[in-house]
Structure 1
Amino acid sequence: MAVLQLLFLLLISCPATLARPRRHLPPCQVVQMDVLCSDLSLKSAPANLPRDVQMLDLSRNQVQNLTQETLGFHTDFHQLNLHSNRIHFIQPGLFKDMKALRVLDLSKNHLNVFAQSKTNVGPLTAVESLDLSSNGLYTGMSDYFLAESPSLSNLSLNSNSITKIEQSTFSRALSLRKINLHNNVIMEIEDGAFDSLDHLAELDLSKNSITCIIDFNLHNLEILNFSK
């Protein structure tokens, strides 16, 4: 009986402690410095991200606005996987302090809405691989993502609504080695559109509406896909 009385006294002496709800955290998987949070209906990264996280997978969630707060104010990412969300806004200058970011996947979002603001995404100082596929982008919209991307070597623009490749389209991404333009509606490629890309080795123009094949004058080109 004495034990029960003591337990009762302890319970009534600290009700605030017992009433405090347990903090619910999304069941992300953490593997060393990689955080995997796909398919969790998240609108932002979990608040308890490890400080040294290098890869964040937020794919197949419900992110709409990509801001510093969305990413937990982390800047040490090496890889960001944000495909298959609902992103239609990117905070200007969001990536400028991400000096180690090498891979950025923004495919299957609504970046055509963001591009209508005519705001540059960059600088993307260290980004080497950028995926913008399936975003409803049309001619000229990719310019806002490539304006400050000096290290970019791999670019995917497949499954968009691009109708024309202009001379200026890739003029500020001179390190490009691979470009994927598969499954657009490209009908015209301006003369000199690829002339500034001295390192371009692979170009996929398959499943487009190109009727006239021009001489691209690309001496380092190894793979050119024009298939229907």
Structure 2
Amino acid sequence: MYCSQRKTLLQHKLLILVFCLNLPSAAESCPGACICYSEPKVTISCQQQGLTAIPIEIPIQSQRIFLHNNKITLVRSTSFTSCRNMTILWIYSNNISLIESGAFYGLDKLEEVDLSDNVNLKSINPATFRGLVHLHTLHLDRCGLLELSTGLFRGLFSLQYLYLQDNNLQTLLDNTFLDLANLTYLFLHGNKIKSLSENVFQGLINLDRLLLHQNRVSVIHRQAFHDLGKVMTLYLFNNNLTVLTGEMMAPLVSLQYLRLNGNQWVCDCQARSLWNWFKQFKGSSSELECHLPPQLAGRDLKRLQSSDLEGCVDSFNQIRTSVFSTKTRSGKLPTADPPLNSHDGSRKCCQPETDKSFIYEAKGKTGPSSHSSQSSPNNPLKDKENIAKTKYVETDPSKNGSNKQINDSPFGTYPTIVDTPLTKLKPEFLDPIEPSTVPTKKRQGCSKKNKSKAQCRFTQPGNSSTLQLNLSLLIPPLVWSLLLFC
């Protein structure tokens, strides 16, 4: 009798357990506009759903959150409070204009944040990314940024890839990147940067690729590159440069790929030190088309003879006249500013104590749309999933104000003559490797293991179909053992 009662009680408990395992978790349900799945990582995918706000019921176990291609305008300080397991956040191609202070506080497992293509995000609070010690990739390109606040990247010791291209940056402050000792790729092209100061790149001791093309750079401090001993790729094409010196380039001991075309080079005695530096440079370079003096116009500085550099341009008037007589890419006549440290309008030449890195800036100069870059194929921190990331081209003019096709080539595509064609670079520089952690743009269907659409919804790891199956296999042996025992 006693054994029979125990058997009945045990059977009731097992039935209750099985029933509970089949109940969906109300607290961890998937938001209605989203698809949730747990393999290969716990993911909530809500892209292209017309969302105007971040869903409030994001499951707390979520590791990857995809909210791109919506109409979200604000990231609140409480938007991700419960998402302490999040490693990847994609919220690009929205209408975000404000990120409240503390929006990412406590998310110390974050490895990648993509905020690109939010054209109204003109400034970011300097404490926004504070504490993200495992962040290795940060996308802030095409955000309309006007400045980089002091301390914005402070403490991001793990950061390797920083995308800042196609914004409206005009100035880079000293020590902006001071804590980024592990940064390898820095993309600053397509901005309006006018000068590079002595300590602007201080701390970037492991930087490999620096893209600064299509800016308005006219002044480079002679020690601006002093921490860039590991840089292999440097792009300065399509700026307002007229003079560089060998002293400036000397710290770039690892340089292999250099592009300086699209500047108005003055090929006189001021160019001799750069000409000498090129004699020992073993890498690949674009041509440096001479603009002045007139008899050398159109020739490549690197291919000149020593005797060609004996004279000096005697007056700034020559440069100004030449600049005013040449239309810019936009079809408008540029204006010219007086040279730095010049009081009488004339340019003294060939004095070693004078910093010859000045430029006469043509303010009206503009160029074609610039290029962004994809991550390196050798990113050890990326998941090795073959999921292709394709940023949608915005077709609603009221949303992001642009429907230009995105070009993510790491190299410029402007025609130029190079010593060694840039199309023959090493495979790791040319192969377009797509990020490995990107969701597909279609809703995820059931895996082969699932039997119904209901099983595609998000559930607690302990409530997964696999666990249910394992327990269902264990229940019969337990029941028979009890019956035999009794």
Same fold (TM over 0.5): yes
The match for 1:65 is 74
In the superposition, the TM-score normalised over structure 2's length comes to 0.39
Distance 2:82 2:114 in 1: 18
Inter-CA distance 159–212: structure 2 relative to 1 (3 Å threshold): same
* Unaligned stretches of 5+ residues in structure 2: 1-29, 239-486
1:137 aligns with 2:142: no
Is 1:124 the equivalent of 2:146?
no
Aligned equivalents of 2:177, 2:202: Cα separation in 1: 9
1:124 alignment partner, SS class: coil
Return closer, same or farther for 1:72/1:123 CA change in 2, 3 Å cut-off: closer
Say which SS state the counterpart of residue 141 (structure 2) adopts: coil
- Identify the residue that residue 12 of structure 1 maps to in structure 2: none
Q: 2:231 aligns with which of 186, 209, 221?
A: 221
1:85 matched to 2:85: no
| TM-score, normalised by the number of residues in structure 1 | 0.78
The match for 1:151 is 158
Instruction: For residue 133 of structure 2, give the secondary structure of its aligned residue in structure 1.
Output: coil
The structure whose residues are more often helix, as a share, is 2
2:203 equivalent to 1:196: yes
Residue 121 of structure 2 aligns with which residue? 111
Q: 1:31-70 to 2 correspondence within 5 Å? A: 32=39, 33-70=42-79
Gaps of 5+ in 1: 1-22
- Equivalences, count: 202
Equivalent runs, 1:156-195 vs 2, <5 Å: 156-195=163-202
Amino acid at match of 1:87: I
- How big is each residue's C-alpha offset from its partner over 1:158-209, in whole Å with a ceiling of 9 and x where there is no partner? 0111112221221233322110001001110001211321111111111111
Higher strand share: 1
Measured in 2, the distance between the counterparts of 1:187 and 1:86 equals 28
Once the two structures are overlaid, the 10-residue window that deviates more, 44-53 or 30-39, is 44-53
Matching of residues 3-14 of structure 1 within 5 Å: none
Q: Identity over the aligned pairs, expressed in percent?
A: 23
Q: Cα–Cα, structure 1 residues 48 and 30, in superposed 2: closer, same or farther, change >3 Å?
A: farther
Render the CA deviation track for 1:110-163: whole Å, top value 9, x for unaligned.
321x53xx542122221111111111112334x453133222111010011111
User: 1:17 matched to which residue of 2?
Assistant: none
Q: Structure 2 counterpart of 1:195, which letter?
A: Q
Q: In terms of Rg, which structure is larger? A: 2
What is the DSSP-based 3-state SS (H/G/I as helix, E as strand, rest coil) of the residue aligned with 2:37? strand
1:47, distance to aligned residue in structure 2 (A): 4.7
Deviation (angstroms), 1:29 = 5.3
